């Protein structure tokens, strides 16, 4: 484990996914950009064989876009109807041709992901030809039946709901520091969680939320009063992420388009008796003052699970990115101390993050790329869920490599003249390769960290 203390490899629970600007920022006018779409009442000769909305375009939008582009969701305009979609035809063409939409950043050559969002080249071409032909409607009889989008919980009716105790007043504009709220679970016994979901009440202003579990005995945010919003103290550690408290568990996150956490039958996450939920919420004003009172819903496992799911990470907290460096490499790794399976990946960096790669190195020396994100975009917090979990025998290494762009040509760079180290603020950096491990629910978690003497934070688990 490259000589770092064991705890440096656990979830840095102090991670604040500090994002200075939002993916859902108010840079989008309420009206669409001008397009060259022609009137549809008089289709030109050339558009006769062109794709139509009803027949060709709507199915693509239903499958790939409406999850975010419908009222109440994160996308800045709705694609449910022809009338709503048509003015955006040209912008849609550009967005799919440049790969900006749908927001999915995995290099398709590596790994298969159950939550992948991407268009085939034929689908991209259909959208492009449709826009070029003046965005014809076609025969309404060709329209596919509308998708019955579930309003409300994607996990089904939760067994328990934890709501932010008070609504947050989001102003019309400005930058809002990350907000935290501690909500006690009230659990008097250990509970296994089969599914969990966070739902904002106003999605337009919620950039992302993470619900962490704080176990009893953890010092993380000790002294902060439960039930009220607070901002994290501005800790800046010298060499390492702050590891003074017990590791906390990443329960579930919300980000636009992110599916809720629904574990496979027989799998569950553990929340110990007496734990608290700590919400971290990133609000991004959207042009009008509003309020949000997000909720976490959880469904308990109906019987004790066979397997436990735990989010850990390969973290490097000791890098020093030189001023102006355009392509600075940072590595991290985690060696699994027991036979486990790997089910999901979630790279995390800030605005200087450029690319991120996960590899697996088997004890035999055989190595394989699990995920490559060649153009990392910190405005999107994607999880990459493996279509089939991968078996990692004891001694397998999860290897991560990231590059950072600290040059002036990176528009997300807060200050290219500065040496950049680990930190919580958006002008600092992070290098975290989160991943989900799946293992025998009866296995003590200490087994995952065999070369650790007495990992206090895990000893009681």
88 is an interface residue for ligand HEC by CB under 6 A: yes
Q: Residue 81 or residue 244: which is nearer to ligand HEC going by CB?
A: 81
Figure out which of the listed residues 7, 35, 37, 102 binds ligand HEC, where binding follows CB under 6 A.
102
- At 323, phi and psi to the nearest 5? -55, 135
Q: Structure tokens of 397?
A: 């290494």
Does 17 contact ligand HEC by CB under 6 A?
Answer: no
Instruction: Give phi and psi for 82, each to the nearest 5.
Output: -60, -45
**Rounded CA gap, 5 and 28, in Å?**
45
Please pick, from the candidates 8, 15, 57, 101, the single residue that binds ligand HEC as defined by CB under 6 A.
101
Nearer to ligand HEC, 64 or 316 (CB): 64
Size of the site for ligand HEC (CB under 6 A): 23
**CB 71 to ligand HEC: min, Å:** 13
Q: What number of CA atoms fall less than 13 Å from residue 349's CA on the CB side?
A: 29
Instruction: Select the span of 5-13, 96-104, 388-396, 437-445 touching ligand HEC (CB under 6 A).
Output: 96-104
Copy the structure tokens of residue 454: 């007495």
Residue 74 or 335: the one with the smaller Cβ distance to ligand HEC is 74
- Cα radius of gyration (the chain): 23
- Min separation Cβ 80 and ligand HEC, Å: 13
The nearest distance, CB 70 to ligand HEC, in angstroms, is 10
The phi, psi pair for 321, rounded to 5°, reads -85, 120
Contact segment (CB under 6 A) with ligand HEC among 101-109, 168-176, 278-286, 385-393 equals 101-109
Among 9, 96, 211, 392, binds ligand HEC (CB under 6 A): 96
In DSSP notation, 178-243 reads: -EEEEEE---SS-EEEEEEEEE-S-GGGEEEEEEEEE-TT--TTTTSPTTS-B-------SSS---
Indicate if the alpha-carbon torsion angle 404, 356, 400, 235 is positive or negative: positive
Q: Which of residues 58-87 bind ligand HEC (CB under 6 A)?
A: 64-65, 67-69, 74-76
The two tokens of residue 335 are 């060696």
Task: Please state the closest distance from residue 288 (CB atom) to ligand HEC, in A.
Answer: 16
Site for ligand HEC in 371-400 (CB under 6 A): none
Q: How far is the C-alpha of 62 from the C-alpha of 278, rounded, in Å?
A: 35
Site string for ligand HEC, 113-152 (x = CB under 6 A): ----x-x---------------------------------
Least distance CB 258 / ligand HEC (angstroms)? 8
Instruction: Measure the CA–CA gap between 414 and 409, rounded to whole angstroms.
Output: 11
CA geometry: angle 230, 234, 238, nearest 5 deg: 150
Distance in Å, CB of 124 to ligand HEC, minimum: 9
Q: Which is nearer to ligand HEC, 73 or 107 (CB)?
A: 73
Q: Which listed residue (18, 24, 277, 310) binds ligand HEC by CB under 6 A?
A: 24
User: Is 54 in contact with 260 (CB distance < 8 Å)?
Assistant: no
For the bound state, the minimum distance from the C-beta of residue 208 to ligand HEC, rounded and expressed in Å, comes to 11
Among residues 255 and 299, whose Cβ is nearest to ligand HEC?
255
CB of 77 to ligand HEC, least distance (A): 7
Rounded least distance, CB 92 to ligand HEC, Å? 4
User: Contacts with ligand HEC in 222-281 (CB under 6 A)?
Assistant: 256-257
Structure token digits, residue 279: 């919400």
Burial of 395 (0-12, 13-18, 19+ CB in 10 A): middle
Q: Does 23 bind ligand HEC (CB under 6 A)?
A: yes
For position 299 contacting ligand HEC by CB under 6 A, the verdict is: no
- Position closest to ligand HEC via CB: 257
Residue closer to ligand HEC by CB (options 91, 164) is 91
Residue closer to ligand HEC by CB (options 116, 262) is 116
Query: Where does this chain touch ligand HEC (CB under 6 A) — which range of 97-105, 263-271, 278-286, 309-317?
Result: 97-105
Burial 10-20 (b: 16+ CB within 10 A, else e): bbbbbbbbbbe
What is the smallest separation between the CB atom of 104 and ligand HEC, expressed in angstroms? 8
Among 50, 92, 135, 245, binds ligand HEC (CB under 6 A): 92
Question: Which residues lie near ligand HEC (CB under 6 A)?
Answer: 23-24, 28, 64-65, 67-69, 74-76, 88, 91-92, 95-96, 101-103, 117, 119, 256-257
């Amino acid at each position: 484990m490259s000589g770092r203390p064991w705890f440096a490899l656990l979830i840095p629970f102090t991670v604040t996914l500090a994002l200075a600007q939002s993916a859902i920022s108010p840079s989008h006018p309420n009206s669409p950009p001008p397009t060259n779409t022609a009137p549809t009442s008089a289709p030109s000769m050339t558009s006769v064989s062109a794709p139509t909305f009803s027949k060709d375009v709507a199915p693509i939008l239903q499958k790939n876009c409406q999850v975010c582009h419908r009222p109440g969701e994160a996308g800045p305009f709705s694609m449910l109807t022809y009338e709503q979609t048509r003015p955006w035809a040209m912008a849609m063409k550009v967005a799919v041709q440049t790969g900006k939409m749908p927001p999915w950043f995995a290099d398709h050559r590596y790994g298969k992901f159950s939550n992948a969002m991407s268009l085939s080249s034929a689908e991209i071409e259909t959208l492009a030809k449709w826009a070029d032909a003046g965005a014809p409607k076609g025969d309404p009889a060709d329209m596919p039946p509308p998708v019955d989008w579930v309003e409300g919980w994607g996990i089904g009716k939760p067994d328990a709901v934890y709501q932010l105790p008070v609504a947050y007043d989001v102003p019309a504009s400005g930058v809002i520091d990350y907000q935290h709220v501690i909500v006690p679970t009230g659990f008097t016994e250990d509970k296994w969680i089969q599914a969990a979901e966070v739902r904002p009440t106003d999605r337009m202003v919620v950039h992302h939320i993470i619900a962490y579990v704080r176990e009893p005995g953890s010092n993380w945010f000790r002294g902060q009063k439960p039930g009220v919003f607070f901002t994290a103290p501005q800790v800046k550690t010298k060499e390492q992420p702050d590891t003074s408290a017990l590791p906390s568990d990443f329960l579930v996150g919300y980000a636009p388009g992110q599916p809720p956490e629904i574990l496979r039958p027989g799998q569950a996450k553990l929340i110990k008796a007496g734990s608290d939920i700590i919400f971290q919420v990133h609000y991004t004003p959207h042009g009008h003052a509003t309020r949000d009172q997000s909720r976490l819903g959880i469904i308990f496992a109906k019987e004790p699970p066979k397997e436990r799911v735990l989010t850990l990470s390969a973290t490097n907290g000791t890098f020093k990115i030189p001023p102006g460096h355009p392509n600075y490499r940072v590595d991290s790794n985690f060696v699994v101390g027991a036979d486990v399976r790997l089910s999901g990946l979630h790279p995390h960096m800030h605005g200087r993050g450029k690319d991120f790669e996960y590899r697996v190195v088997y004890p035999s020396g055989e190595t394989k790329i699990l995920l490559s994100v060649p153009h990392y975009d910190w405005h999107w917090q994607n999880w990459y869920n493996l279509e089939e979990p991968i078996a990692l025998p004891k001694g397998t290494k999860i290897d991560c490599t990231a590059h950072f762009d600290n040059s002036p040509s990176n528009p997300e760079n807060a200050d290219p003249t500065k040496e950049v180290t680990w930190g919580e603020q958006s002008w600092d950096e992070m290098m975290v390769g989160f991943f989900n491990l799946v293992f025998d629910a009866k296995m003590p978690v200490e087994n995952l960290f065999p070369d650790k003497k007495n990992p206090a934070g895990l000893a009681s688990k």
